[in-house]
A and B are shown apart, each in its own frame.
Chain A
């Protein structure tokens, strides 16, 4: 039997069977003790766990019996982020969760073919309602009068405006960058790839690998837009974020699973989009994760199942599919320009290991303040001259032109006490002008989902923060073509979506420019 995961907004009237049984199963799982591998909290802790955060949010009581330490270190805190394992770890995690929920649904008298719905927010142009959540996520009770576990109080799901109403911002749902990227795997400094950079088991490793493109947008952005925060400065003891805004609590929100079902679906959408879009075939990937920690999840009886990446790659073999693999990004799309001009076709260098080298960086770390922070990035003349020459040759379609030349702006070691922040990054915005007037100078957007844990030096993460890599090939090429490319400097401006006060603590260790080519 092939299970079909259905579109959240195509399920029918309020309290359709899919969401009603989901709610009842969540109720059931929430009654189980945290030591039970099939309980709601154990399953959420597989993604991430933090005693203090869970206690604050009411999901853990001090002194409550937890699973034994070896079990916690085997099962909990596994989530893979900023790695090429991001997708193949979350897929079996979702399968394990769905199987356990389905077993609970069946136990309660529900349908044996129950499947997890997915939240297709990237279809907002056709269906604006997909920017929000259906009424089932706001109703206080189920039809039988029992408390509705799908609805959370405002302080656990703030949303973008802090009022508990979820309305996603289209600007943060950009899928084009990810879906048009040819390469699955990323390289540090260069393209982060559709699926993320090459790493080992990556839960809190301290080298600050960048977010993969799909992970960055829409994944990270949706986490933060749903979770949100209470608007306090992040150094305030009363600063608080919603569950979805932190990887250590995200799995506690029932929306998490619908969001990740969509991310899982988008992986297949990317594969379907173009024959050049392929999963890595290297042994390090297929047989991953490498020695160390395994991918381990409970089955419906609480027994352990282990997974290798190679077992997650074929939807048919896994026994489930999605109602639709609709690709919302038109194939003729010219945006983003750089993706089409330089990335959206297979090249020699896309097959070979690319050369990635630093060609510029700013001089000091940058503490973000107010609504704008800017820094000058000094460029290395020989490196930039090489980029300009290669881009020029490409523009002229010269025979000697390299097949592959890309430029990336890196935000390294972004440290913050908050996760809920979205940074718009622009290059060379003229003094006194608003960035919105220059979409052609927009490098991209970065959400800091995961930054709080990654910035805490006392955490196993060690305090390195997070990083992001944004492609600026089109911007640099346009500057070159117009004669406006200063071989010595680029001005990089960061525009947070919140007015950061002196009490907020957000900094970028280094802003650098890399070229990726042959």
Chain B
């Protein structure tokens, strides 16, 4: 397959569109005016607390819930699209050509609905952790990190990740398309929330460098999503263990690729 053909195949995949959506989210975050709730909220509830105080946070929640929701959506737009390549390909492939946009929109609506509800829960959780941490805002981030790592180790985390790959039945005709795709988006969103919430919580807790933490969490999420499904069981939450154990073999692998195949035939 030539370069042109490869490029065409790639362009016909969901990746360019999802990457564009994600970049739009990041651009909105970077370009948002400093006086809006967007950078403060997306980056850090902790920072919101510092700049506005508790009264300010309460006012923001009561007086500008739409602004906060908008900020949350931008955060989702930046972090989540690259996790949706599988569902997008499924929706595209399993829908009538003329109904593909409807299927995608219905799915996204369901997905955003669930994540919006999760946003409320995560906001309350981040405020609780900040209160619990007391004076030092970094303590709240440390608490969030600890909670995230604990969750990463549980079987439910892996189960959620495995279920994120599930593709349900999608009707082809009529309002059933909207129903099934909405349901698909909500189900997918639910498993996605369970699998990804620590990566959304952590940027909300750090008092500084929240965009950098968001970016690192996004990379972590994509890496995790592309990894093979694994048995749901208690696991060491960080990848080092496997990497260390596999290092000698991987080193050998790299050197073995330079040898001829004849060297693989056992001595006779």
Contact = CB atoms under 8 A, between A and B. Distances in A.
Q: Do A and B bind each other?
A: yes
Interface of A: 1, 68, 70-71, 73-74, 99, 102-103, 106, 112, 188-189, 201, 203-208, 281-283, 292-294, 296, 299-301, 303-306, 308, 311, 317-319, 353, 356-361, 363, 365, 378, 380, 383, 412-413, 457-464, 509-510, 512
Nearest to A291: B226
20 contacts: A106-B268, A188-B93, A203-B228, A205-B165, A206-B229, A207-B90, A281-B1, A292-B226, A294-B253, A304-B249, A356-B93, A358-B95, A358-B172, A365-B169, A380-B172, A457-B166, A459-B162, A460-B162, A460-B228, A461-B229
Closest CB pairs A-B (n = 6): A206-B165, A361-B172, A70-B245, A460-B229, A306-B253, A509-B169
Nearest to A106: B268
Contacts of A463: 163, 166
Interface stretch (B110-118, B121-129, B141-149, B255-263): B255-263
Given A201-B228, A380-B173, A460-B230, 20 more contacts: A1-B268, A70-B246, A73-B242, A203-B228, A206-B167, A207-B86, A283-B1, A294-B253, A353-B8, A357-B96, A359-B96, A361-B171, A378-B173, A383-B97, A457-B166, A460-B228, A462-B165, A464-B167, A510-B169, A510-B170
Contacts of A112: 268
Interface residues of B, number: 49
Interface in B211-247: 226-232, 241-242, 245-246
B233 to A, nearest CB: 9
B56 interface: no
A423 B128 CA distance: 56
Interface of B: 1, 5-6, 8-9, 12, 86, 89-90, 93-97, 159, 162-163, 165-173, 176, 226-232, 241-242, 245-246, 249, 252-253, 256-257, 261-262, 264-266, 268
Nearest to B95: A358
Contacts of A512: 94, 172
B241 A292 contact: no
A367 B236 CA distance: 41
A353 B5 CA distance: 8
B237 to A, nearest CB: 14
A412 B228 contact: no
Given A188-B93, A353-B8, A462-B162, A205 B229 contact: yes
Given A296-B249, A311-B261, A361-B173, A207 B165 contact: yes
Question: Which of B163, B166, B245 has the most chain A CB atoms inside 10 A of its CB?
Answer: B166
B165 A103 contact: no
Contacts of B253: 294, 296, 304, 306
Contact of B172 (A204, A299, A378): A378
A356 B176 CA distance: 22
B268 A358 contact: no
Contact of A305 (B167, B230, B264): B264
Contacts of B12: 353
Contact of A360 (B5, B167, B172): B172
A64 B8 CA distance: 52
B205 to A, nearest CB: 31
Given A189-B93, A203-B228, A361-B173, A99 B245 contact: no
A462 B229 contact: yes
Contact of A413 (B1, B169, B246, B266): B169
Given A293-B228, A460-B229, A99 B265 contact: yes
A204 B257 CA distance: 27
Contacts of A458: 159, 232
A460 B231 contact: yes
Contacts of A203: 228
A204 B1 contact: no
Contacts of A510: 94, 169-170
A111 to B, nearest CB: 11
Contacts of A459: 162, 231
Contacts of B266: 99, 102-103, 299-301
Contacts of A304: 249, 252-253
B256 A305 contact: yes
A363 B176 contact: yes
B135 to A, nearest CB: 41
B165 A464 contact: yes
Contacts of A1: 268
Question: Which of B95, B167, B231 has the most chain A CB atoms inside 10 A of its CB?
Answer: B167
A209 to B, nearest CB: 10
Contact of A299 (B166, B168, B170, B264): B264
A28 to B, nearest CB: 15
Contacts of B242: 70, 73
B169 A204 contact: no
Nearest to B159: A458
Contacts of B231: 459-460
Nearest to B162: A462
B173 to A, nearest CB: 6
Contacts of B170: 510
A318 B163 CA distance: 40
